[in-house]
């Protein structure tokens, strides 16, 4: 007998079959066994250099001098960046830095303020 998947709503392991449906006894969620809905969707969590969780709109501080490609400018240590936006891709943070403009930063070079 193959084990039944946990509930996609509450992650309860005590699901049971009722015909073509799987049912959770804790939250009463019902789903089709063929849905492929075996677990809740993975949600990406962004963390700063110290391990603190980041969210859209946070203020962060740069922890290392960062050279800006194509220019002789540098984003200095201690620069505060307000109202960040978290994105998927090469860089994790889209932001606007005073005196520099739009930038893409990696979370490993910032800490939550």
Model confidence pLDDT, tens digit, residues 46-62: 999 999 999 999 999 99
Interval 84-96 mean pLDDT: 94
**Cβ neighbours for 93, distance < 8 A, ≥ 6 positions apart:** 46, 54, 60, 81, 84, 85, 86, 87, 104, 105, 106, 107, 110
pLDDT of residue 1: 60
10-59, pLDDT tens digit by residue?
Answer: 989 889 988 888 999 999 899 887 765 444 456 789 999 999 999 999 99
Q: What percent of the chain has pLDDT over 90?
A: 62
Question: What's the chain's Rg over C-alpha atoms?
Answer: 22
């Amino acid at each position: 007998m193959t084990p039944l998947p946990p509930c996609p709503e509450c992650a309860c392991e005590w699901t049971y079959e009722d015909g073509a449906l799987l049912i959770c006894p804790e939250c009463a969620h019902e789903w089709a066994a063929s849905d492929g809905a075996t677990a809740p969707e993975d949600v990406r969590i962004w963390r700063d250099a110290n391990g603190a969780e980041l969210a859209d709109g946070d203020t962060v501080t740069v922890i290392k001098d960062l050279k800006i490609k194509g220019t002789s400018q540098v984003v200095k240590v201690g620069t505060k960046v307000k109202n960040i936006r978290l994105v998927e891709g090469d860089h994790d943070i889209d932001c606007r830095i005073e005196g520099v403009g739009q930038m893409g930063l990696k979370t490993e070079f910032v800490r939550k303020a």
